[in-house]
Structure 1
C-alpha cells in the first residue's frame, strides 16, 4: 500500500488557524485533501496533526467528513510520524505532503511515486534539487527506509527531525532519485504562510476552481501571466 501523510496544524506564527481558513467555501485543509485524493497511485490518505487542544477543531472537522486523522504527541517528530505509518497497516511507500500547500498537484504526486517504484530508490523528491514552485514539494520513501533512518539517528536528531529529513540528509546511506520540471520554476513560492499568501491562494482558486477543481501547476502559471495583480508571484 502507498500511503500519503498530510501534515497540518492550527498553529502558525504568521497565520494562525490557516488550515481552516476558507477557500471557495471549504477549509483550506479540505481543498488539499480533495486534490491529494485525485492522485491515482495512493491507496490511503492520512492527515497527521498534534494531540494538542488547539488542533481539536481541525481533527473534529476532518473526522466528520470521513477523513482518517492521526494525532500524536509533539515531543518526538520521528516517533510520531512512524507511529502514523504503523497505524495505517502494511505500507510499502510513504508520501509526505505539507499543510501549507493548497496547490499540490495530484499528477506530480503520481510522477514522483512512479519514479520511486521504477528506480527502486530509497528516497525520491522534487525538493533536494528544486525546480518546481515552492508549495509543490513531494517526498516519497520506502517505509522500511524511514524506520531504518530513525533507528540510525541520534536521539536528539530523531526528536526534532522527521524520518524523511533523516533519510534526505544521508545520501551516503540511502540512495536518492530526483524529479525535475522541464524548466526552473523554483523562484516561485506558492506556500501559504502569511495573510498575503492566503489572498493569493484565494484569487487563484476564484479564477480556476469553478471551472476545474483539479487545476494543475500549468493552469496557475497561465493565471499569473494574465493577472497583473498577482505579478508578485510570477517573478
Structure 2
C-alpha cells in the first residue's frame, strides 16, 4: 500500500509585531528560519516542505533563504493565513497537511513524524501534540487536505483565518481529533516571539548546535539542568491560537 503524500507548510513573515524580522535573527550559527527549515528537512514523513509567506518586497529575505535551501515559497495575504495554506496545498497537492510555524527553530522532526504516524494509524481528521506535555516551540498539527479545503470554505472569523486550524479543532462533533501524548517540559517556552525568547533560544543552540540531530528531550534535559534559563522569558504571554 502506497504511503500518503505529506505536505508540510510553515508560515513565515518579516512583519511580526513583537519582534519584526525575527525569523532572520541569528542563533547558533544560522538564522531562526534556517534552523527551522533544516530540521524539518530531516523528517522521514514529509514529502515536500513549503514556506507560506506574505506578498511584498519585505518577504525577500525569507524567499532568498528558502530558495538557497531548496524550499519553495507561496506568497499570499498577511492576515488571512488560512488562505495562504489553502494556496500552498493547491499548488503542491498532497493527501496530508502538516502545519508548523517558523518561529520554532528547535522543532523536532521526529515529533512531526510521530504526529503524522498517529494521524494515519488512528484514522484522524486532525492530530496534534498540543496538550501532550511538550514545550512550546515543538508544536505540530496534522490534518487531511480535504479538511483544510473545508476550513478554507467555511471559516469566517478573523481568529479562524489568522490561526488556520481553530475551525477544525473547535468542531469535535464534525472531526475526529487526536493528541500525541508522552511529552514533558510543557512549562518551558522555546518559540521566538519576543527578544527574551530569542535570548533563550540562543543559549540552547550555543549548547546543542554541534549536535544537529538533537531532539526535544535533549532540549528539556538542558533546560532542567539550567533552571535559571526559564526565567529569561517567563513573562512573555503566548498569543492565543
Stretches of structure 2 lacking an aligned partner (at least 5 in a row): 235-241
For structure 1, the 5+ residue unaligned runs are none
TM-score of the superposed pair, with normalisation by structure 1: 0.90
Residue 29 (1) aligns with residue 28 (2):
no
Q: CA separation in 2, counterparts of 1:31 and 1:182?
A: 22
CA distance in 2, matches of 1:24, 1:170: 40
> Which aligned pairs between 1:81-92 and structure 2 lie closer than 5 A?
81-89=85-93, 91-92=94-95
> Which whole-Å deviations, capped at 9, do the CAs of 1:55-84 have from their partners, x for residues lacking one?
122112222332211111335332221011
Give the match's secondary structure for 1:48.
strand
> Among 145, 149, 173, which residue is 2:151 paired with?
149
- Equivalent pair of 2:134/2:183 in contact (CA under 8 Å): no
Q: CA deviation at 1:182?
A: 4.6
Question: How many residues matched?
Answer: 230
| More moved, 27-36 vs 6-15 | 6-15
**Who is 1:73 aligned against?**
77
Give distance in 2, aligned partners of 1:120 and 1:113: 11
Partner of 1:140: helix, strand, or coil? Answer: strand
Aligned-CA RMSD value: 2.1
Conserved 8 A contact 1:5-1:47: yes
In structure 2, what is the Cα distance between the partners aligned to 1:51 and 1:135? 26
Q: TM-score w.r.t. structure 2 length? A: 0.87
Contact 1:82 1:147 in 2 (8 A): yes
